[in-house]
A and B are shown apart, each in its own frame.
Chain A
C-alpha cells in the first residue's frame, strides 16, 4: 500500500478534487463578501428592507428584487408542481416502457434548450397570452411582469422536477408494490399509499433543486419581467429579480458604491441558494427517519 498503488492514488485524487469544490464555494462566498463590504458598511441592515434603488442619489435597498425573485421562483414551483408530479407518475407507473423511454428523452431535451430561447418564446407567445388574460381580468395589460416570468420559469424547471420524480418513483422496490397489489389494492391506491410516501423525500428534494435553478435564472426572466425596480403592488405588476438587476446594471456601474451594492445582491442570492439547499438536506433527513 505505497504511493504507487492505483487505488490509493485514485482515492487521494478524488479527495483532493472534492475538497477543491468545497474551497471554490467558500472562495466565491469570500469574494462576494469582500466586494460588498463598502455597501455593507454604508447601508447595513437597511439594504435588506430598503425599497428604494436609486443609482443617481446613491440610495440602495434590495427588498424589491428580493421579493421579485421569491415570488417568481415560488410561483414557478407551484405552477410546475402538478405537471411535474403527474408526468413523473405517468412515466414511472402507467406508460409502457417504450413510450416512457421516448417521452423521458423529450422531457430531458427541454432541459437542454438555452434560456435565451425560452425568453424569446415567452416574449412572442406568452406575453400576448398573458396580456389577453389581463384584459379579461381588467388589470393593466402589460403582458409582462410577475405572471409571465413565473410561467416561463415553470416551463424551464419542469424537466428537472419531472425527471427527478420519475427516477425516485422507479426506485420504489417492487416487493412493496407487489405486496400491496396482493392485498387487493388498485393501481391508484398503490401510487397513493406506497410509491409517493416511499419517495417523498426524493420528490421534495427534487423540487427544491428545481427551485434553486429558478432563483438564479437570469436571461429569460430579464426579457419578460419588465425590469421595474420598485416594490410590486399586485401579482400582475412589473417587477425585477436579483439576478436580472445584476445582469442589467453591472457592466456600466461606474460608481464604486453602485458596483458594491450589486455585488451585495450577488451575495444575497448566493446565501439564499445555499439556504434552499440546506433546507432540502434537512427535509431529506427528517423524512428518511420516518
Chain B
C-alpha cells in the first residue's frame, strides 16, 4: 500500500510539467491555490441572493427541494454537505477515504495521475471533492446535487470526486460547476472516477457556467460493468476561456451501455474542446455519443472516439455543429476503431449554418426571423439531451431557456 502511494507520488511529480494532449496550456504558477478552509455553510438558503442565483443557473437548488442530498465545494474546501435520502451516501472524498479502507482501491485507479500536469497537480494537492455511493439495490428517487464553486479570483481549484453505484443500484447526479459573480479569472481542475457496477444505472448531468477568463480541465473516466448503464449530459452555454475534456467510458461488462450527450455554445473568446470516448471491452456493449454545438464567435472542437475491442459491440457517434457567425469555427473530429470483427461503429458529422429553408418555413407561419432561428436552435440543442429521464430533462430545458438566449 505504502509503495503504491510512493509510486503514485513519483509518477505525479514526474508529470508536474506535462502538457495535456489537447487545449491551451495553463501555467499553474500563475494562479494561487484556492483556500482549503471555509466556514461551513449549514443551509444553502442562507447564501446571499447573488450566490443562490449562481447556483440555480447550474441546476443546484439552494432549498434542496427535489434533491436527495447536496454537497458544495467552495474553492478547495467542502463547505456544505447534507443528505436527506438514506438510499444514498454523500460526503467529502477525504472523509470517505478515512471512513472506508476499501475506497483506496477506487482512488486514482481510473484516472492516471500522470495523465498531464492537471491530474498530477490534483493528486499532489491531495484534493478533496465529493464521494457518492449508491448501496447495492438502492434507488434514490431524487438526484443528488453537487456544486463546484470558484469563489475567489485568480485561484486554481482542484477537485477529486469518486462515485460508486453498486450492483443493481440507481443514481442521478446533477453537478453544477460555476464561479461566484466577480470571479473572472481562474482554473478548475476536476478529476472524477465513476464506477457503475453490475446492472446499475448512473445518470450524470453536468452544467458548466464559468466566466470569460476561466480555464477548465475536467478529467473523467467511468467504468461500467455487466448490464450497467451510464448516461451523461454535459451542458455549457455561457462564456468561458477554455474547456478541454475527453471523458472516457470503459464498457467492461457484457451488455454495458452508455450514452453521452453534449450541448454547448461557444461565445466569442471561448474555446471548447469537448470530446467523448467509449471503449468497448466486452461483448454486446453499446454506446451513443451525441454532440450538438453552436458557435456564436468562439471555437469548438468536437471530438468523439469509439474503440471496439469486443465482438457484438455497437456504437454511434454524432457530432452536429451550427456556425451562426463568420467569426466562429467548428471542427468535428470523429474517430472509429474496430479491433475485432462483428463490430458496428458508425458516425455522422455535420457542421454549417442553419438551413434557410427551415428558417423560412417558420417565417411563413408568421414567426420573425429571430424567433424562427431561436426555435430552430432550441430544437437543435434539444436533440442533444433526448433519452434522459423526464425530471432531468425539464431541469436542463429550464437551463437552456434561462441561459442560452441571453446570447
Genuine A/B complex:
no
